[in-house]
Amino acid sequence: MSIHPSAIVAEGAVVPASCTVGPYSTIGPDVVLGEECVLVSHVVLDGRTRIGARNTFYPFCAVGVAPQDLKYGGEPTETEIGDDNTIRESVTISRGTTKGGGVTRIGSGNLLMAYVHIGHDSQVGSHCILANCATLAGHVTIEDYASVGAFCPVHQFCTVGQYAFIGGGTIVTQDVLPFSLTSARRENRAFGINKVGLSRRGFSPERLQTLQKAFRYLLAAKLNTSQALEKIKAMTGGDAAILAEFVERSQRGIIK
């Protein structure tokens, strides 16, 4: 096992022999690490935190720390992280609260760039990218394959749909449509589908054409939301159904 002499690993922590714990890192007593994790240096893992395999933690990140919630009273809430995540410098991930479900959860294959904050009870899917200084307030949901640009704050209880791309500096106070390209110029707007990102993820021309048609109903046609949803539901293809279902279950409203 590679544990630097300056690191502190509390009694009770589970650290497999395949892990590397760098200088001045601290691991709390209720932390469980998976195989082949790397703590580069100055990493803090705290609380009831369960971490999968092959995750890399860069200097000064703090994972599983107490939530920034004045109602939190030290309850034994949790943080769960999947496999193959890259968590860069100074990222902070707060554990859950009892009123928010008790668990902050991160999936697998994500890139969290420097200074990202993931607030208590947030749920981040898999294969997401959160760019530098993206900030998730408590109770935020980021679905699979979504990208959140640099310096984007996301309001409590918002959902960012799957495969969405949010441009840098966008203040997100409503739900972001799946598959969309959403950004702030003078005001927040959805500009259609995230065509480049979807193509890179292997979406066929037929799938892209279906999504473009669905987005025209929702964003460009002279239809109200209910009328647009009727048109979208009548379309064939699972992507259109995902879009319609997302709009119908939105609690904060959507960015159009």
- Domain ends where: 142, 157, 172? 142
Q: For 137-154, what is each residue's pLDDT tens digit?
A: 999 999 999 999 999 999
Are 233 and 115 members of one domain?
no
Mean pLDDT for the chain overall: 95
- pLDDT band, residue 33 (cuts 50/70/90): very high
Across the range 23-34, mean pLDDT stands at 98
- pLDDT band, residue 236 (cuts 50/70/90): confident
Per-residue pLDDT for 186 more than 70?
A: no
d(CA 4, CA 6): 5
Q: Which of the residues 28, 138, 149, 197 is marked catalytic?
A: 138
- Strand duo 188-193 + 180-184: pairing: antiparallel
DSSP code at position 205: H
> Where in the sequence is the domain holding 91, given as residue range(s)?
2-142
> Known catalytic residue: 138?
yes
Are 23 and 111 members of one domain?
yes
pTM above 0.85, yes or no: yes
Per-residue pLDDT for 194 more than 70?
A: yes
Which of helix, strand or coil describes residue 81? Answer: strand
Give Dmax over CA atoms of the chain in angstroms.
67
Q: Which of the residues 120, 125, 149, 175 is marked catalytic?
A: 120
Across the range 102-124, mean pLDDT stands at 98
Is 188 part of any domain? no
> Known catalytic residue: 84?
no
d(CA 81, CA 112): 12
Residues 239-256: b if buried by 16+ CB within 10 A, e if exposed = bbebbbebbeebeeebbb
pLDDT attached to residue 140: 98
Helices (H), 130-194: none
Is 192 part of any domain? no
DSSP codes joined into one string, 89-134:
TT-EEE---GGGTSEEEE-SS-EE-TT-EE-TT-EE-SS-EE-TT-
> Known catalytic residue: 12?
no
Q: Which of the residues 121, 125, 139, 239 is marked catalytic?
A: 121
